[in-house]
Structure 1
Amino acid sequence: MTHQIVLLGGQLLPVYIGVLERKPQVVHILYTKETVRLKTRLIQQFREVKVFDYQIDPYDYDSIQETITNIICNNEHATFELNLTSGTKLMALASQQVFSTLDCFSFYIDQKQNIINLSDGTKHKINALISTKTFLSLSDHNTFTSSTLKSFNKEELDLANSIFELRKNKSGIGELFKLFRSLKVDSESKNFSFSNSKYRIYWHGNLLSVEAPRFKLTGKGVNSFKILTTGLWWELIIGMAVNDWKYAKEILMSLAIKSNINSNMDKNEIDILINTGQNIFFIECKSGIVTQSDLNKIRTVSKFYGGIRSKSILVSFYKPKGYLIEKCHDLGIEMFYLEGASSKRFELKTISKKLDSLLNRIEL
């Protein structure tokens, strides 16, 4: 019977992956008073594994060694292994000293999803895959709603493409967007009509019709009005661009994470989430002007829901102001923009290659 000892620090993911990949029958968790909540959250994920837990002082070297030694001595017929990826450095040093003395297997999970054998330095790729639901559960968020690209029909996707082409060609559709803002239009409306000397807008029975001085638009589908009156059109454009990325196991759109206190309230909304099975990419799609609050939101989402292995990406139609571009670099937010960009900087059809590059350089 295999027993795995894990050291619990501020990141749950490498601990969870180690158990998922190695499949021990028993897990021993060493935690501190600062990580007791994380320990409880982690145990909830191990429904088919027997778990024992031990609170330790993370800076008491002798006590840590004693705890590890007692665990091994009390289970003398078991095979032991040690996941050294998490915990404090002193926890790792004390634990590894015991394992080295007893010639037991210890390993480390690196940022490129390799398990490294600390005895001989050999490594192999992790095969275990994690669902988006589990990723979010590890951050203590169990309730969310989302959609996928399949939630939209062909006519709705065609409408998003039409808006995109009009936006690129400076057709005057920006003035229509300003009109919607001035009218404080409810994007969830089932019926809407408006007419003046410039525009004739009709929305009824899931049919949309727009006549403007320099363009016409039609749409058919329950989401058509929302696509036109919000930035959803841009999210769909980006969603279509990343939909066929070979490393994506799940792609969710308009993911609304619910409050743990009130499940009727959205705590955060993520435009696009890409799950590779081992990493999470959060994409914020901005069809308008980028602000400092947008960057704060992106940083918060990545920190609380994805952990250290996640990546935040801002995809903006317009080029952000210089100080915001600098801020993105400071915060580790990847950024692509269309308006004012050279073809080498950002092309929708090559965004998958850019995601390949980001996946290969995830760093501590």
Structure 2
Amino acid sequence: MTTHICLVSAQAAPNLLPVLDPELKPKEVALLVSEKMRKAANALSTVLKELGIRTTTVPLEDEHSSSVIEEALLKIASEREGEEILLNLTGGTKLMALVAQTVAQAANWRSFYVDMDTDAVVWLDKTPGKKLAEQLRLPHYLKSYGFELPDSPVRPQITRDQHDLMHTLITQTGSLEKPLTQLNWLTQLAEDKKQLKIEMSDQQAGNHSLEALLRHFTEAGLLQVNQNTISYTDEAARDFVKGGWLELHAYKCVEAITGETGIRDKAANLTVIGGGVKNEMDIAIMARNRLFVIECKTAHMDRPEAPKANDTLFKLSEICRRVGGLGTRGMLASYRPVADSERKLARALNIELVCGQDLKNLRDQIRAWISAKSRS
């Protein structure tokens, strides 16, 4: 029987990935846990148990004491005499790792480190490294960071009419930008009023560009126009018109490159709850054993009533940091161009930008983004 000893830290993935690898999967995992990491250990333990792996939590009364750490490790060893023990040195504090490696050498345990940039196990006994099998899916990954999914991940199906409409909106980005801004604003008003109808002003109703855009949405079966009144087919149609179409377009791009990029799992409109706080992700992708998050915006972010581009970038960066750990990557797909200052902020926050006319190449941009080496 094989046991993994894991040093718990805020980053769950390096402890979870080797456990899921068929060649390394243990019967039991012993979690060495400081007081500060108790919540992280509970989340990781929950996932391990769901995966059918016996889990033992070994609390450290003082993670700053080498003797306390050594005593805890020796206790694990004495209770598993004659069993194979593998020590995962990726997590924990530096002191925990140093003491654990010293004990491992004395006890003849094999030790390894998970390199998250290469998705490989690095053995400390100079055994050739091993590429980890990509087994992670969104629910277990997110749960390992302490987040619950109140609903099952959504993997939407796109109709032919929706596909054709999205193609029109993407290929005519420049000419449709102004009328789409008006339609977004009207549709947001309808949603705020919890209505499926909204009245246009005479000026809006007489706008030829808006009239032409409304025809596209009418042909797709999403709304009807009667004189000055826009009537949405249902709430889902209203959401699509307000900007949900760009999320579906991004999801369609992800779906198209799933096989070639090794995407393990994907979802749209994913809601996760942690610490009583709800976090929403337009598109969530599991690839290369890490989480990728795409935020989609069709509103003018320089308008008073709209979320500002800087706020959107900071919010996306915070979601990436809290929900998926240090390896998580974020992308903002915006129908509108953003200012140079906002591009600089995106680079500083390690957020990928695909804006305006660049959306025509969104599939290629996502492919390159997912395949790129980490910049952090």
Q: TM-score range by the shorter chain?
A: 0.7 to 0.9
> Residue 171 of structure 1 contacts residue 215 of structure 1 at CA under 8 Å; is this kept in 2?
no
SS at match of 1:220: coil
Change over 3 Å in CA distance of 1:160–1:71 after alignment to 2:
same
Change over 3 Å in CA distance of 1:29–1:226 after alignment to 2:
closer
For 1:226, give the aligned amino acid.
D
Structure 1 match to 2:94: 89
Query: Which whole-Å CA distance do the structure 2 matches of 1:93 and 1:171 have between them?
Result: 58
For 1:126, give the aligned amino acid.
L
Deviations 1:47-87 (A, max 9, x none): 22222222222221222223222321332211111000100
Query: 1:219 and 2:220 equivalent?
Result: yes
Query: Which whole-Å CA distance do the structure 2 matches of 1:179 and 1:50 have between them?
Result: 53
Query: Which whole-Å CA distance do the structure 2 matches of 1:134 and 1:351 have between them?
Result: 27
For 1:63, give the aligned amino acid.
V
Change over 3 Å in CA distance of 1:328–1:175 after alignment to 2:
closer
Provide the identity percentage.
20
For 2:280, give the aligned amino acid.
E
Change over 3 Å in CA distance of 1:327–1:71 after alignment to 2:
same
Deviations 1:305-358 (A, max 9, x none): 11112111112223322222222122221222234x6x9xx8234224323443
Query: Which whole-Å CA distance do the structure 1 matches of 2:119 and 2:5 have between them?
Result: 19
- Residue pairs, 1:132-147, within 5 angstroms: 132-145=138-151, 146-147=153-154
Deviation, 1:101, is 2.4
Change over 3 Å in CA distance of 1:108–1:189 after alignment to 2:
same
Change over 3 Å in CA distance of 1:191–1:126 after alignment to 2:
same
Query: 1:257 and 2:261 equivalent?
Result: no
Query: Which whole-Å CA distance do the structure 2 matches of 1:175 and 1:34 have between them?
Result: 48
Change over 3 Å in CA distance of 1:212–1:83 after alignment to 2:
same
Query: 1:52 and 2:75 equivalent?
Result: no
Deviations 1:108-164 (A, max 9, x none): 1111210111110521111141121112212222224443231x3221232222333
Correspondence for 1:26 among 25, 28, 36: 28
Deviation, 1:214, is 7.8
Query: Which whole-Å CA distance do the structure 1 matches of 2:363 and 2:55 have between them?
Result: 47
SS at match of 1:269: strand
Deviation, 1:166, is 3.9
- Residue pairs, 1:42-81, within 5 angstroms: 42-47=44-49, 48-56=52-60, 57-81=62-86
Structure 2 match to 1:205: none
> Residue 180 of structure 2 contacts residue 213 of structure 2 at CA under 8 Å; is this kept in 1?
no
Q: Which has the higher contact order (CA 8 A, sep 6+)?
A: 2
TM-score normalized with structure 1 length: 0.84
Correspondence for 2:43 among 38, 41, 44: 41
- Residue pairs, 1:193-342, within 5 angstroms: 194=200, 196=202, 199=205, 212=211, 216-217=215-216, 218-220=219-221, 223-228=236-241, 230-245=242-257, 246=260, 247-258=262-273, 261=276, 267-276=278-287, 278-288=289-299, 289=301, 291-339=309-357
Change over 3 Å in CA distance of 1:235–1:74 after alignment to 2:
closer
Change over 3 Å in CA distance of 1:66–1:125 after alignment to 2:
same
For 2:85, give the aligned amino acid.
F
Change over 3 Å in CA distance of 1:175–1:267 after alignment to 2:
closer
Structure 2 match to 1:13: 13
Change over 3 Å in CA distance of 1:363–1:256 after alignment to 2:
same
Deviation, 1:180, is 1.0
Deviations 1:247-290 (A, max 9, x none): 222221111234665xxxx8122111111261110001122325
How large is the RMSD of aligned CA atoms in angstroms?
2.9
Query: Which whole-Å CA distance do the structure 1 matches of 2:356 and 2:200 have between them?
Result: 31
Query: Which whole-Å CA distance do the structure 1 matches of 2:196 and 2:272 have between them?
Result: 25
Deviations 1:194-248 (A, max 9, x none): 57365389xxxxxxxx9716873222255433322x1222222222222222322
Task: Indicate the structure with greater helix content.
Answer: 2
Query: Which whole-Å CA distance do the structure 1 matches of 2:251 and 2:162 have between them?
Result: 13
Aligned length: 343
> Residue 241 of structure 1 contacts residue 351 of structure 1 at CA under 8 Å; is this kept in 2?
no
TM-score normalized with structure 2 length: 0.81
